[in-house]
Structure 1
Amino acid sequence: MVLVSNKTIGTTLVCTKRTMEADDSVFTEWASDLCERIEESEKQLTRAGNRVSRPKIQRVPKYMAEKPEFHRYYKPQMFSLGVFNPKTTQGEQYKEAWAAMYLKDTNLNVKDLFREICDENRMKRWLLKPMWQKLYDAPTVYADHIIVEACCVLHLLEKSESSVDPEQELKISIDKLVRVHQDLLILDNQIPFQSLRLLCQDEARLEKCLSNFLQVHGIQVETAPKLPRKKRENEEVKVAVDGDDDEDPVHLLDYLRRALLTRDQHTFYKAINHKKIKRRSLHLRKYRIGTIRELNAAGIRVRKNSHNNSVYPSFKDGMLQLPELIVDGSTAHIFFNLVAYEMCPDFRNNFEISSFLVFMSSLIDQPEDVKKLRMGGIIINELASDKEVADLFNKMDSILVPETLLFAHIRDQIHSHFESKQGRIRMLSWMGEAYNTFFRSPWTIIALLAATLGLLLTFIQTWFAIHPKAS
């Protein structure tokens, strides 16, 4: 039996009480820290300045970059820019040579450029001022890289005008130049638009370079987005959400996206604002509308719209209007990188490009669908065959996007039209299955004819067996 004195018990109770008070103090501190942290997040999320997304150079989302069918569209072949891709010997040679040519043409003072970009307290390491560091989603960026790459890109775009001989001006063969221009489309390969502004202080010259950039990739420049006024020194740089054109683009890919979305979005959304479209699911999904052949069977006519720079389709009175689309060797690079850009977590947008591609992948299933669009002037095919175009859009069919009001509205209109034409659509489906089964190759056609002839001869033989000629 163990005896414990009252004094010992009292001491134990006091210690326990102090321990509980200490623990309570720790919990209070943790709770206070948590409340402060989440309240600060709420302020950042709901404050008025959150209308815009922070501009920075960032990577292709991992879940897209790892898809084997997309991999080749996210890796530069000739030209590594920015901070994410390893430098290539050949690319570095062109970059530095073109940068030297641009500096000679413009008489820019490199020392002054370093003063504009570098932090004076860290000059020995060529590190950037905080306002420039924020433009990259990377820990360390050096000023010499920004100067060389911006000068190089500006010289490349300036000498890419149709009236200029690029082989003579840039000292590069055409096949390599094509790959360089494709590399400028890669999301991982972008440089801040602000660096282009800094190195091209002539506004007209900069707009001409951007015009050449659009023309190289087959985009009409008549309605290209106008650049906003030049930012004052130390003025905060912001990137507007869709529909706001008073802020600089983030980079060249963002500028190209704006050029594709120049047609007034309000015109399209005005027709659906007064209607309540029920959101069917919050999951990522596809827009299953039907192929071009199914649309034709339902009496839906397809026509090219008059706004070639728009990616917005429209549907009215049984007429589906689609934008003209040039499909060439750069089309996949453009669209897959625009999709990756729209999927970046800090870029607020309505997934216009992604939704358009999902929409088109529903319309195109077989080369026959491409042929109908080509004959209607909607698709201008600069690839080897209609099958290549169909394969490209079938590859895009793996893209999943949230449901957007515009495409949901068009889908609902088309499906309503379908309901009154179900019999005709079913018949076309049967015909399509029969075509794919019996007419997919010359051998299947021969087999079908042989089987038909065999049945016919069997029928004739049976007829004469049942009804022999009178002797």
Structure 2
Amino acid sequence: MNSKEEYRAPQWLRQKWELLEETEKRLTRGVNIISWPKLQRIPHYMTERVEFRRYYEPQILSLGPFHLAKRELLQGTPYKVAWTAMYVKHTNQPVKDLFQRIHNHDLNLLKRSSEIYKDQAEYETARVYGELENLKDFLAWLLVLDGCSLLQLMEKSENLENIEQELWISIDKLVRVHQDVLILDNQIPFQVLRLLCNDEVRLEKCLHNFLQVHGIKTAPKLSEGNPIHLLDYLRKALLMRDLNTIHKEIEIKIDIQRRSLHLRRYRIGTIRELMAAGIRVRKHSHNSVYPTFKDGMLELPELIVDGSTAHIFLNLVAYEMCPTFRNQLEISSFLVFMSSLIDQPEDVKELRLAGIIINELASDKEVADLFNKMDSVLVPETPLFAHIRDQIHTHFESKRGKIKILTWMGEAYNTFFRSPWTVIALLAATLGLLLTFIQTWFAIHPTAS
């Protein structure tokens, strides 16, 4: 090629150049490119663990383009078609109008939503449907179908008594569908739900039902910031309490020199160890995952543990690990914190008796096994949880002598009073020693005849 000839770049390379130019413009305008709202794939290093894989794979319902190629998810298509028809009928919105609303809106699904989303959509649709003349037409229709069916699912999940008649689905499949909706790369843009609903009151009701299904009682207001997708909305609900408020309340002083980038499982001690050392535990009154510690009292949030708990936490952890989502790893840190508190079923029992854990699994052992499995999550220690650990350590140091006695008493209690049979055995042994002492006494000091 002549050196003076201009290089004619292929289409794929020109697209990459355009992406870099757009990024450069955003940097010039001071836009935070790290936290662009994007639909993301789950990081590979999280899906490669065999025991976690089932929490990242949809079982019935495919949403968005990422799982289109999976034949096992075709069973969910009739449900989506039926629910979309139900939604169109009871909202009295012609499906053609909904399509035009998505297609014509300045949503720019192929760029602003995510370049990763665009590339993956092109790849998956090419595999399943062959080459399409207009990818945007297909994506618009896909989002209408997914969005309408999702809104119908959430709106009708309020009344579980008639759910089989309302949604034409059995309870066992409905449970799996709600788990599918939690998966990070099985999301659709929240803005699509807003466009399709076109009614803020109905939308907030749907979102409230969505949170209620997963045991979350308080919903954030949509006016406080648009979520990216449903999983992001659930995360906002768990972080309802403003972190700045908490920092002001407990007056956190961060030692910058102690901050570390090393990934770790920071240990605080099991709940029984803390209680044996004189620390009291109770459920806090505010609705967020942030724990607090003051004057020997550790306050923890109420946590419902059921079959969807692992789906919620592991997908939220995957979301916080996404490279384009700037966050403080709040959910990941909370999971590490709880995994430190729970080691054995007895730890779960103490938290359950304190009203902190609502166990909807078969046994306390299942809960302990669940948190022990999720204990493999590694995150840098965040300031809030480092501060709580330091507070507990300071509490130990200030009451070291008393703590030794309390620890001994706690160990003695766990050893000798953990069940009625151990209490009976201890009383029998004590009575035996007393009788032996009396017999020996009279043998040495016989009474005068």
TM-score where L is the length of structure 1: 0.74
* Structure-1 separation of matches of 2:103 and 2:170: 36
* Structure-1 separation of matches of 2:73 and 2:345: 38
Name the residue aligned to 2:278.
Answer: 299
Aligned to 1:59: 41
Tell me the distance in 1 between the aligned counterparts of 2:181 and 2:414: 41
* Larger displacement relative to structure 2 (76-85 or 208-217): 76-85
Of 89, 103, 107, 1:104 maps to 89
Aligned residue runs from structure 1 range 325-340, under 5 A: 325-340=303-318
Opposite residue 397 of structure 1, the aligned amino acid is: D
Identity %: 70
Note if 1:113 corresponds to 2:98: yes
Given the alignment of the two structures, is residue 136 of structure 1 paired with residue 100 of structure 2, yes or no?
no
Selected match of 1:264 from 242, 249, 260? 242
> Which one-letter code corresponds to 1:179 in the other structure?
R
TM superposition shift of 1:270: 1.5
Distance of aligned partners of 1:356 and 1:133 in 2 relative to their CA distance in 1, 3 Å threshold: closer
Q: Is the 8 A contact 1:166 1:172 kept in 2?
A: yes
Shift of 1:38: 11
Counterparts of 1:134 and 1:117, CA distance in 2: 19
C-alpha contact 2:65 2:120 (8 A) present in aligned 1? no
Equivalent of 2:149 in 149, 152, 173 = 152
Q: Secondary structure at the match of 2:65?
A: coil
Task: Supply the RMSD in Å over aligned alpha carbons.
Answer: 3.9
Corresponding residue for 2:353? 375
Q: Tell whether the 8 Å contact from 1:298 to 1:417 is kept in structure 2 after alignment.
A: no
> 1:298 touches 1:421 (CA, 8 Å); kept in 2?
no
Correspondence list, 1:2-401, <5 A = 48-50=30-32, 53-85=35-67, 88-118=73-103, 130-131=111-112, 136=117, 138-140=119-121, 142-162=139-159, 165-221=162-218, 224-228=219-223, 246-271=224-249, 275-278=253-256, 279-307=258-286, 309-401=287-379
Decide which moves more: 136-145 or 283-292: 136-145
Return closer, same or farther for 1:58/1:41 CA change in 2, 3 Å cut-off: closer
1:440 deviation in Å? 11
Q: Is the 8 A contact 2:277 2:404 kept in 1?
A: no
C-alpha distance in structure 2 between counterparts of 1:420 and 1:65, whole Å: 44
C-alpha distance in structure 2 between counterparts of 1:46 and 1:393, whole Å: 45
Determine helix, strand or coil for the equivalent of 2:117: coil
Number of equivalenced pairs: 399
**Distance (whole Å) between structure 1 residues aligned to residue 174 and residue 198 of structure 2:** 26
The alpha-carbon deviation at position 298 of structure 1 amounts to 1.6
Equivalent residue for 1:468? none
On the 8 A contact 1:263/1:310 being kept in 2, the answer is yes
| Deviation for aligned residue 1:111 | 3.0
Shift of 1:118: 3.8
Where structure 1 has 5 or more consecutive residues not aligned to the other structure, the ranges are: 1-36, 121-126, 229-245, 445-471
**2:222 aligned counterpart, secondary structure:** coil
Q: CA-to-partner distance for each residue in 1:216-238, whole Å, 9 max, x for gaps? A: 111103xx11113xxxxxxxxxx
CA contact (8 A) 1:80 1:87 kept: no
Q: What is the TM-score of this pair, normalised by structure 2? A: 0.77
The 1:90–1:260 alpha-carbon spacing in structure 2 relative to 1, beyond 3 Å, is: same
Q: Which amino acid aligns with 1:111?
A: K
CA contact (8 A) 1:291 1:363 kept: yes
Give yes or no for contact 2:342–2:368 (8 Å, CA) kept in 1: yes
